[in-house]
Amino acid sequence: MTAILFSLKAYAIDYPEETGLPEGTDIQGILESILSWLLGIVGTLALISFVISGLQYFLATGDDKAMGTAKKTMLYSIIGIIVALSGFIAIQAINSLLGGGTSM
């Protein structure tokens, strides 16, 4: 009998009590926070790139090569903003489908 109890106790799962996480934090909330944070960074960088490319275009003053570079940079920054917004919308849609509610 003691051998059975010993073997069951040896394979029992011992969950940590002090993880340092706030009370009520689950993996969904952590992942949602990380993804929102990353999408915010991507969107901010794309917006900054858009402003910089606008300044490059404005300061090109007739130089066709510089204007072409500025147009390409502007196009890529617009694509970045669209990707960031699409990612945010996808996260919200998946969260509402799986979580049964809305967040943010």
> pLDDT tens, 39-91?
888 888 888 998 999 999 999 888 899 999 999 999 998 888 888 888 888 88
Closest CA to 39 of 73, 77, 89: 89
Q: Is the pLDDT of residue 104 over 60?
A: no
104/95 Cα distance (integer angstroms): 11
Q: Does the global pTM surpass 0.75?
A: no
- Tell me if 6 is assigned to some domain: no
Considering its fold, how many domains does the chain have in total? 1
Q: What is the pLDDT of residue 15?
A: 61
Q: Long-range contacts for 5-10 (Cβ within 8 Å, ≥24 apart)?
A: none
Rg of the chain taking only CA atoms, in angstroms: 25
15/74 Cα distance (integer angstroms): 51
Q: What is the pLDDT of residue 65?
A: 93
- Tell me if 28 is assigned to some domain: no
45/39 Cα distance (integer angstroms): 10
- Tell me if 90 is assigned to some domain: yes
- Domain that includes residue 69, residue range: 39-104
Candidate from 2-11, 46-55, 78-87, 93-102 with smallest mean pLDDT: 2-11
